[in-house]
Structure 1
Amino acid sequence: MLQKKNMIITVTLNPAMDKTLAIDNFTLGIVNRVSNLRYDIGGKGINVSKVLKNFNVNSTCTGFLGGILEKTFIEELNSRGIDTRFIHIKENSRTNTKIVDTTKKVYTDINEAGPEISENELKMFLDEFGNMCNKDDIVVLAGGVSPSVPKDIYAQLTKIAKEKGAFVILDADGELLKEGIKEKPDVIKPNNHELVRLLNLESDSEKELIKAAKLLQSKGIANILISLGEKGALFITGENIYHSKGVKVDVKSTVGAGDSMVAGLVYSKLNNYEPSEALKFAASCGTAAVTLEGTKACTLEQVQEMFRKIEVEIKEED
């Protein structure tokens, strides 16, 4: 399908070079041998842009980049045909290490905190972001931030984008999510654990999650997509509750699965999918992503293959 003229803006405030190490029977306290190694430019917004490009959808990445990795990120994104409008910072962008135990099927992430962002660098970004946003753009705000960035940053960005008439998707955790929802983004995409933390739920049972999502709707968050890992996903939108059932696949890496789901939401909005179809497509993106190594972006063909396998049902609210 042809892409509409919306501009897609993905925001990654703490990008990282993802270094993925495959190790057979990873054991602490001894020398471990790496059986496979790969590097991927990462950060949740960047991952969304990578997937969208595979769907023939153009987007512009923004955020902060600095140090020896800045050139690598820009060159890699440009080589993929992805536009960049990052703010240059004085400190180094970070590296995150992912350890995949191929024997035990255990995945370990070792993530750095990220660089210091000065007040001037933050102001430059806010000004640039405001200049980028226009009516009917789709803005994806995704991922963590370095400790120096204020926890209400996503609230600030949501307010700026919505005042310009843009559609905002927020994928964050903890205080960033708690503060961000105060400005009522159009969609949020927590996983079950993130939603439990956000609202101090007693459990992550389906009933509790749906009740929580309905509460968020009453506060002005129109659409809530909750990823449930191998159990699928819930999409609460309008008056309806949709559930996509999980599909058993050979999991190679869970990194980037949620980002792929967000890319699926963007693609669904561009193509005016009905809610059940949007959930099915987003879930297909997430499922396809976990079958790939590292943060390799899924292709449209891989997603369409999963699309044929995933079932979506409408749930009745208790």
Structure 2
Amino acid sequence: MVITVTLNPALDKTLIIDNFKLGDVNRVIGVRYDIGGKGINVSKVLKNLDIDSLATGFLGGIFKDTFERELDKRKISHHFITINGDVRTNVKIIDNKNKLYTDINEAGPNITSEELNSFISFYSNQCQKGDLVVLSGGIPIGIPKDIYGTLTRIAKEKGALVILDAEGSFLDEGIKEKPFAIKPNIYELSLLCGMKPEEVDEKKIIKGAISIKKKGVNSILISMGSLGAVYVTDNGIYTSKALKVPVKNTVGAGDSMVAALVYSLINNLDDMDTLSFAQACGGATVSLEGTKACTKEQVEELLPQSKKNVRRV
């Protein structure tokens, strides 16, 4: 079974504006709403790739029913712990003219110790030998910064593989428990390795990934946007150029690449095909509006181009 954990879900509201002007009246020419949060985004993509998952985490407030109805509509299994607080709303502003993408993200609700304990109890009971567990995204107020380390340890004790996608101290604490794979972006990896994001290049990224691998992480997939991607595994080091696709929105691209890692593990893809598939998933996602999940057909359309971009270092 695949389990995706979203501790801080969000209703994503995407506003499309022709020429966004700060401090002025802006006319919206398009709007869409999507249930989101990184783990939920992974589940949405996995469903489109014909892989079932169990989505879990916390839900509460006026949007709780909206999330559950949408997940049911997509036939995604789910069990979220009900909380007293409200699910947050994130606003995404897409400036069509200037090709600028602005995120305004709320912090999220306060999670009580009782709510957290209920989740950990459910999560521990769900994890089984052979499961793939995806831990991704930020965390709401009231949850300790070592939560991903705790959840990684629980899953591993049950015999499950963990893929971690987080940032800052949450990623650092999670790595201490040696998840199977991590998927940082170039900014997150830079911070993790003590580098300045604006000064990194492919060689420095590879060096940083190797240093993390020595800490016990089997695979590191680094998404680098227009610079491409790097994939470091037990078998070698692989790089890929970025796909040339029309960029409509960057939110969710990393989540699609995490879904690609899950897909690759389930379907026993080799490392080069894994990176090709991940890049195709990411490329398909950025060409869509909002946090809409890419389809298998859209990914397969980009695969021939993606495979040509991958090389072993």
Q: In the TM superposition, what are the counterparts of 1:163-174 in structure 2 within 5 Å?
A: 163-174=157-168
Cα distance in 2, alignment partners of residues 63 and 279 from structure 1: 28
Q: Residue in 2 aligned with 1:32? A: 26
Deviations 1:33-66 (A, max 9, x none): 1000000000000000000101111001000000
In the alignment, the residues of structure 1 paired with residue 19 and residue 195 of structure 2 have an alpha-carbon distance, to the nearest angstrom, of 35
Runs of 4+ in 1 over 2 A off after TM superposition: none
> Match of 2:51, as an amino acid?
V
Q: Distance in 1 between matches of 2:305 and 2:47?
A: 24
| Whole-angstrom distance in 1 between the partners of 2:271 and 2:148 | 25
Quick one: distance in 2 between partners of 1:219 and 1:23? 45
> 2:91, 2:209 → 1: CA distance?
33
Which residue in 1 is equivalent to 2:204?
Answer: 208
Contact 2:182 2:220 in 1 (8 A): yes
Matched, 1:9 2:3: yes
Q: Could you tell me how far 1:102 is from its partner in structure 2? A: 0.7
1:250 aligns with 2:238: no
SS class of match (2:31): strand
Amino acid at match of 1:245: K
Amino acid at match of 1:53: K
Given that residues 22 and 99 in structure 1 are in contact (C-alpha distance below 8 angstroms), is that contact kept between their aligned partners in structure 2?
yes
Task: Measure, in 2, the Cα distance between the counterparts of 1:108 and 1:208.
Answer: 28
1:314 aligns with 2:308: no
Q: Which amino acid aligns with 2:87?
A: S
Q: Which aligned pairs between 1:1-318 and structure 2 lie closer than 5 A?
A: 7-202=1-196, 203-310=199-306, 311-315=309-313
Alpha-carbon distance between aligned partners in 1 of 2:240 and 2:301, rounded to the nearest angstrom: 15
TM superposition shift of 1:205? 1.1
Distance across 2 between alignment mates of 1:154 and 1:184: 11
Report if the CA contact (8 A) 1:193-1:204 is conserved. Answer: no
Q: Is 2:243–2:279's contact at 8 Å kept on the other side of the alignment?
A: no
Per-residue deviation, 1:239: 4.0
SS of corresponding position for 2:305: coil
Q: 2:172 corresponds to which letter in structure 1? A: K
The runs of 5 or more residues in structure 1 that have no matched partner are 1-6
- Deviation of 1:232 after TM superposition, in Å, equals 1.3
Partner AA of 1:312 in structure 2 = V
Following superposition, the deviation at residue 222 of structure 1 comes to 1.0
What do the CA deviations read for 1:262-313 (whole angstroms, capped 9, x no partner)? 0011001100000110111011100110000000000001001111111210
Question: Greater CA deviation, 41-50 or 23-32?
Answer: 23-32
How far is the alpha carbon of 1:237 from its aligned partner? 0.3
In structure 1, give the amino acid aligned to 2:266. L
Distance (whole Å) between structure 2 residues aligned to residue 102 and residue 262 of structure 1: 27
Report % sequence identity: 58
Matching residue's letter, 1:85: H
Quick one: which amino acid aligns to residue 176 of structure 1?
Answer: F
| Inter-partner Cα distance in structure 2 for 1:199 and 1:147 | 26
CA deviations 1:179-199 (Å, max 9, x no partner) are 110000000000111101111
**Displacement after TM superposition at 1:212 (Å):** 1.0
Q: How many corresponding residue pairs?
A: 309
Provide, for residues 136-163 of structure 1, a one-character-per-residue CA deviation record: whole Å limited to 9, x for no partner: 1000000001122111000000000000
d(CA) in 2 for partners of 1:306, 1:245: 13
**RMSD across aligned positions (CA):** 0.7
**Deviation digits for residues 39-96 of structure 1, max 9, x if unmatched?**
0000000000000101111001000000000000001001100001100000111000
